[in-house]
Amino acid sequence: MKISLGQLDVKRSDPLHNIDSIRDYAAAASGEGSDLLCLPEMATTGFDWKDPDLLASAEAQHAELADIAKEYGLAICGSFLERAPSGKPANTLIYFNRNGEVLAKYRKIHLFSLFNEDQFVEPGQELVVTDIGHCKAGFGICYDLRFPELFRENTQRGAQLQILPAAFPHPRLEHWRALIQARAIENQCYFVAVNQAGVEGLGDKVGSAHYFGHSMIVDPWGEIVVEAGEEPDLVHVEIDLGLVEETRAKLTALDDRRPELF
């Protein structure tokens, strides 16, 4: 399976600009023969929860992303603004297949209170593991990375690949690297983590966030397969999904668990 990581500098409250950037990345990823383009968190809007026009246009944004996936014949996933049934904003990972169909949706379960996300956003209520054709994939979004039980449950449900769009800022780069490798090692799976690049103003109470990029894929042994730098970038890599079962057969940690004790 060939995966492209689209490390965007997301322009706050400017979906037209961001969708144009995504289209450019999709064209390049398709040209490289990628099966999947992974995007970061809130990839079309940034974190402007208060703008009613952005929320009102969310479905139209999703339709444009579906058209891009269909036009270039590759799956696209990332986290995007969505209106929850309650009417509140939701931070939702959407996986569009190569035909532009929505294959999966996952709403962020753990909301980042440090940036007041919990004050505006409807939290997700369920884990999602989906057959994406090449394998089963489990999903998380950004802050979810700090909660290992989510990804362990994804693994118990059959995930061989875990995908995490994110907006991790300085000074937590070493946390980012360590946690991604840990989630891959402990679940013996591929872990795909796509971060934003650039700087975003988040209001007077929070200030600005300087996202450090370093989008990466880590294999089931914990080895970094590919890692971007800090600037906006598009990187491509082919992964061998057979390594998942090979790793689990050689080191039977998942079989040796004793969940009845905890």
How many whole angstroms from its chain centre is CA 42? 9
Question: What pLDDT, on a 0 to 100 scale, did the predictor assign at position 199?
Answer: 96
Alpha helices in 143-241 (DSSP H): 148-156, 173-187
Query: Would the pTM of this model clear 0.75, i.e. be above it?
Result: yes
Inside any domain, residue 77: yes
Q: What is the dihedral of CA 77, 78, 81, 86, to 10 degrees?
A: 70
Inside any domain, residue 37: yes
Domain residue limits at 186: 2-255
How many helices (H) and strands (E) the chain has is answered by 6, 14
**Encoded tokens for 152:** 């362990």
Question: What pLDDT, on a 0 to 100 scale, did the predictor assign at position 44?
Answer: 98
Question: What pLDDT, on a 0 to 100 scale, did the predictor assign at position 183?
Answer: 98
Question: What pLDDT, on a 0 to 100 scale, did the predictor assign at position 222?
Answer: 98
Segments of the chain scoring below 70 in pLDDT: none
Inside any domain, residue 132: yes
Inside any domain, residue 262: no
So which residues are the catalytic ones?
41, 108, 142
**How many domains are there within the chain?**
1
Residues 10-51 have pLDDT tens digits of 999 999 999 999 999 999 999 999 999 999 999 999 999 989
CA contacts within 13 A on the Cβ side of 124: 24
Residues 218-245 have pLDDT tens digits of 999 999 999 999 999 999 999 999 999 9
Question: What pLDDT, on a 0 to 100 scale, did the predictor assign at position 115?
Answer: 87
DSSP 70-106: HHHT-EEEEEEEEE-TTSSEEEEEEEE-TTS-EEEEE
Inside any domain, residue 260: no
